[in-house]
Structure 1
Amino acid sequence: MKTILQLEELAQFLVSIVLFSQLPFAWWWFPALILLPDIGMLGYLVNPRLGAYLYNLFHHKGIALLVGVMGLLMQQPGVMLAGVILLGHAAMDRTMGYGLKYTTSFKQTHLGTLN
């Protein structure tokens, strides 16, 4: 089951690349921005609760889709880019086994415990 879920996440990551290719940005923007959503981990410098909240905010696919659709409706390529990056990053993380965080510890995720 884990392999199937990882393949599904990989497919979503590839979809984010396809969506990005339809935006009016140079190719290098995608790799330059793909790790930006990890800024949410800075909350762990305060405490695990804030860290989990911010991490999950920046890694929630529903929020990524909401941002992307808002950009599409407003015809704002920059907002669409933000949605695509959020979606691609979340899918990339989950492909590697990183899930949404519980407030107890960074290593406690909805996909299991990180080693």
Structure 2
Amino acid sequence: MMIFLKIEEISMLFLSFYVSLLLGYEWWLFILFLFTPDISMFGYLLGKKIGAAIYNIFHYKFLAVFIGIIGFAISIKELAFAGAILFGHSSFDRLFGYGLKYSEGFNFTHLGAIGNKNNENRNN
């Protein structure tokens, strides 16, 4: 099962890259901005609960799609690009097991505990 989920995340990552190209952005700009949503990790300086909330806002795919659609709808390509980046970044993270966070701490995600080999064995 895990292989199908990884293929799905890779597909969504490539889709976001393709959308950024359709918007007229150079490929290297996508790469450059792909990791900018990780600035949300600084929210953990304010504590686990606030950190998880801030991190999740920047990694919630619905919000990424919403931002992208609004950008397209009102013809602001920078906003559409931001949505594509957020969407692609979230897919990239989930590909490697970094899911939405629980307030217990950074390592506790909706995909299981980060670094817990039992998660991988259970999901294969």
TM range (shorter): over 0.9
Query: Could you tell me how far 1:18 is from its partner in structure 2?
Result: 1.0
Larger radius of gyration: 2
AA aligned opposite 1:32 = L
AA aligned opposite 1:110 = H
> What is the CA deviation profile of residues 28-55 of structure 1, one whole-angstrom value per residue up to 9, with x for unaligned ones?
2101100000111111111011110011
1:113 aligns with 2:94: no
Partner residue in 1 for 2:7: 7
Over the matched positions of the two proteins, sequence identity in percent amounts to 39
What is the total number of aligned residue pairs between the two structures? 115
Unmatched 5+ stretches in structure 1: none
> How far apart are the structure 2 equivalents of 1:40 and 1:25?
24
Is 1:77 aligned to 2:77, yes or no? Answer: yes
Counterpart residue number, 1:67: 67
Distance of 1:9 and 1:28 partners within structure 2: 20
Runs of 5+ consecutive residues of structure 2 not aligned to the other structure: 116-124
| Superposition TM-score, scaled by structure 1 size | 0.97
Superposition deviation, residue 17 in structure 1: 1.0
- Given the alignment of the two structures, is residue 43 of structure 1 paired with residue 43 of structure 2, yes or no? yes
